[in-house]
A and B are shown apart, each in its own frame.
Chain A
Amino acid sequence: MSSTAPDMGRRDGSFEREPARRVFASELRECRYQFKVGEDEKSPTFVLLPTGERSNRIFVSGTLTEKTRQGEQNIFYRGRVIDPTGTFFIMAGSYQPEAMQQLAKIETPAFVAVTGKPNLYQKPDGSFLVSVRVEAITVVDKETRDLWVLDTAAHTLDRLDALATGTSPDIVKAKEQYPTLDPAVYRKIVYDALAQIKM
């Protein structure tokens, strides 16, 4: 296998892999602030989640409803992954050959689990798009998707609790960047997501 992702390059001992945050589609969609830590070309890029946490990587599980092949010379795949709250836009190109092959093979619709890096783009019309560059994607069962909803609900609630009282740099920045954010709305999103899981 030749899938040594660039982030696997381990600098002796000091390397710590960025954790994959758990975030619902409807929260990720609201990201408007992206920043870099360090000056290096390879320094990690983060999007700031409205609930007050930076994210360089996310882990999501949902239903892959469609995928399209695009490009002539540089083939890449786009896909849509649906969670109970909205849609994740995922893509895998020739820089992620393993991920692209995995995505290409999957027959839609299917429950999938995706690990990837969120990126914030501004479209020519001025609107924003958060797209997820896939590092790994696999077909999973419904139970995994349900576990993800619980997991993501718990993490989102944790972030909301911290947002109410916390003073971390990310929380301060989030309040500055997303001044109209209403925590009650996100709490409702979490509730609705959970309510969609049938017992």
Chain B
Amino acid sequence: MDYSEATERISRKFKKSGNEIDREKVEGKLRRLIEEFGVQPAEAERSVSNELTKEFNIQPAGPQGSPGAGGATGEKVIADARPGDWVTLVGKVVSLAAPASPAIAQSGILADESGAIRFVVWTKSNAPKMKEGTWYRIESAVVDEYKNIPNLKVHSGTTITEIDKTDPLIPAPSPVKELRPGIGSVRAKVIQEWDATHDRMLQSGLLGDETGTVKFVIWKEQGKEKLAVGSVYSIFYAQVDEFNERLSLNITSATIMQEDGDIATATGGDVVVRGAIVHIAPGSGIIKRCPVEGCNRALSRQNYCPIHEIQPKFVYDLRIKGWLDDGEKTHNLLLKRDVVEALTGINLDQAKEIAENNPLGMDEVFLQMREKVLGRYVACKGREIENRLLVNTCERMHFESGEHAKLLNRAGGVP
């Protein structure tokens, strides 16, 4: 299909206000909406055009006439709602979440063409129940902030009216790098799945596109399914949380569509760190893992899993946790079984043998491995995530006479 005509129309429209569009980008967006998301061409054109309007910061010439009147409860588009505002919004309920407390009647996400916002309906407000997928006019609600994220509060003074509108809303996914706390949509690939750290957690891991990576989490709720590692998804209206200046995507109540095909992801590139291993942490060596499917947590000495309690039928594994120091910075290391085996020369069977027959048991494996690794110069290659280097290969460094000669010259040369 040819998108140049639609692009030309959009270009002319923006020229009037003195803006130059990036044709290639616009065509690409149109193509994606139409070919990948099955959006009607006219709707796609409108959607792209709206996005540009926002980008160029032009006041939309809507039928409502004078926008930005800015009255106390002025009608606003969602993107303009700021904490502290009393607002009237027209939007579509794109998702509903299980209320976290009896004081809350409903919570979810309200969206319009400009953006999306979380909302909370207090039980005390006696508001009518809203339905997912329906448009509403919400008059005199308050925007506040909850955990740094704007939040729309429906209270007893708020009027909610259902409106007859069936416009489909297609949010434009943003690059992962451009996510901001609030509500966001992305098209990204599941790069990694991590051990669940909480009983109520269904899945957590890492999502990425070509611009970056972000942690994601899905909490256990009825009908929620895990994402498949290696698959690409369009995720609409996910909650973007910020913790310790790191973003995380809560996609429990997001609209998730699996997609065909593959996308490039910013691997962050494999990093190589050379230095000395200056500390081997407790919990290294041979460990026991919970055998429950999908759990895989490390068990305590008494074979106790924090979730599944006593597990006598544990599975043995090897790992090394420690610090690699290059003299300028210290990197937290995590070596998996195959890396540990290659570096220490002790394989899982040998480690098991030691653990079961030596009077010191598992401690003996720890000690033997520490003897072989601590204080050694290594080059570790892997991915750095959340300040931890997940190591794919770790090799002992060797003396290079070329390096030696270079340093001698440097030290002997006149500065």
A146 to B403: give the CA distance in the assembly, Å. 11
- Beyond A19-B328, A113-B276, A136-B375, whether A143 also contacts B412 by CB under 8 A is no
Which residues in B have their C-beta under 8 angstroms from that of A20?
276, 278, 325, 327, 330
B341 interfacial contact with A, CB 8 Å:
no
A87 interfacial contact with B, CB 8 Å:
no
A135 in contact with B401 (CB, 8 Å) = no
Which residues in A have their C-beta under 8 angstroms from that of B328?
19
Contact of A147 among B327, B329, B397 (CB under 8 A): B397
A19 in contact with B330 (CB, 8 Å) = yes
Q: Which residue of B lies closest to A7 (CB)?
A: B279
A144 in contact with B375 (CB, 8 Å) = yes
Q: Which residue of B lies closest to A164 (CB)?
A: B415
A175 to B325: give the CA distance in the assembly, Å. 27
A187 to B375: give the CA distance in the assembly, Å. 26
B330 in contact with A194 (CB, 8 Å) = no
How many A-B residue pairs lie within 8 Å, measured between CB atoms? 110
Which residues in A have their C-beta under 8 angstroms from that of B370?
138
A135 to B322: give the CA distance in the assembly, Å. 13
A138 in contact with B375 (CB, 8 Å) = yes
B244 interfacial contact with A, CB 8 Å:
yes
Which residues in A have their C-beta under 8 angstroms from that of B401?
199
10 A-B pairs with least C-beta separation: A113-B375, A13-B244, A191-B411, A1-B282, A17-B330, A115-B278, A190-B411, A138-B374, A138-B375, A147-B377
A146 in contact with B399 (CB, 8 Å) = yes
A80 interfacial contact with B, CB 8 Å:
no
A185 to B324: give the CA distance in the assembly, Å. 31
B411 in contact with A157 (CB, 8 Å) = yes
B122 interfacial contact with A, CB 8 Å:
no
- 12 cross-chain CB contacts under 8 A: A3-B282, A13-B244, A14-B244, A136-B278, A143-B399, A144-B376, A144-B377, A146-B399, A147-B397, A148-B377, A150-B403, A151-B327
Report the interface size for chain B: residues with CB under 8 A from the other chain: 39
Which parts of B197-249 form the interface with A (CB within 8 Å)? 244-246
Residues of B with Cβ closer than 8 Å to A? 244-246, 276, 278-283, 323, 325-330, 332, 363, 366, 370-371, 374-377, 387, 397-399, 401, 403-404, 407-408, 410-412, 415
A164 to B244: give the CA distance in the assembly, Å. 38
Q: Which residue of B lies closest to A1 (CB)?
A: B282
B374 in contact with A5 (CB, 8 Å) = no
Q: Which residue of B lies closest to A14 (CB)?
A: B244
A136 to B323: give the CA distance in the assembly, Å. 12
Extra A-B contacts (5), CB below 8 Å, given A13-B246, A112-B375: A19-B329, A19-B330, A138-B371, A140-B376, A194-B407
Which residues in B have their C-beta under 8 angstroms from that of A13?
244-246, 387
A18 in contact with B330 (CB, 8 Å) = yes
A169 to B227: give the CA distance in the assembly, Å. 50
- Beyond A59-B276, A161-B415, whether A113 also contacts B404 by CB under 8 A is no
Which parts of A124-173 form the interface with B (CB within 8 Å)? 135-140, 143-144, 146-148, 150-151, 153-155, 157, 160-161, 164
A73 → B minimal CB distance (Å): 27
B397 → A minimal CB distance (Å): 6
Q: Which residue of B lies closest to A192 (CB)?
A: B411
A61 interfacial contact with B, CB 8 Å:
yes
A59 to B279: give the CA distance in the assembly, Å. 11
B255 → A minimal CB distance (Å): 30
A164 to B415: give the CA distance in the assembly, Å. 9
A21 interfacial contact with B, CB 8 Å:
yes
Which residues in B have their C-beta under 8 angstroms from that of A150?
399, 403-404, 407
A122 interfacial contact with B, CB 8 Å:
no
A195 interfacial contact with B, CB 8 Å:
yes
A197 interfacial contact with B, CB 8 Å:
yes
Q: Which residue of B lies closest to A139 (CB)?
A: B371
Which residues in A have their C-beta under 8 angstroms from that of B371?
138-139
A115 in contact with B399 (CB, 8 Å) = no
A39 interfacial contact with B, CB 8 Å:
no
A144 to B278: give the CA distance in the assembly, Å. 13
Which residues in B have their C-beta under 8 angstroms from that of A151?
276, 327, 377
Q: Which residue of B lies closest to A12 (CB)?
A: B244
Contact of B323 among A17, A160, A164 (CB under 8 A): A17
- Beyond A112-B375, A147-B399, A183-B415, whether A19 also contacts B325 by CB under 8 A is yes
A194 in contact with B327 (CB, 8 Å) = no
Which residues in A have their C-beta under 8 angstroms from that of B283?
1
Which residues in A have their C-beta under 8 angstroms from that of B397?
147
A92 to B376: give the CA distance in the assembly, Å. 21
Indicate the member of B280, B363, B399 with the most A CB atoms within 10 Å.
Answer: B399
Which residues in A have their C-beta under 8 angstroms from that of B403?
150
Contact of A59 among B278, B282, B410 (CB under 8 A): B278
A43 interfacial contact with B, CB 8 Å:
no
Which residues in B have their C-beta under 8 angstroms from that of A3?
282
- Beyond A136-B278, A151-B327, whether A191 also contacts B246 by CB under 8 A is no
A157 in contact with B410 (CB, 8 Å) = yes
A78 interfacial contact with B, CB 8 Å:
no
Which residues in B have their C-beta under 8 angstroms from that of A153?
407, 411
B411 → A minimal CB distance (Å): 4
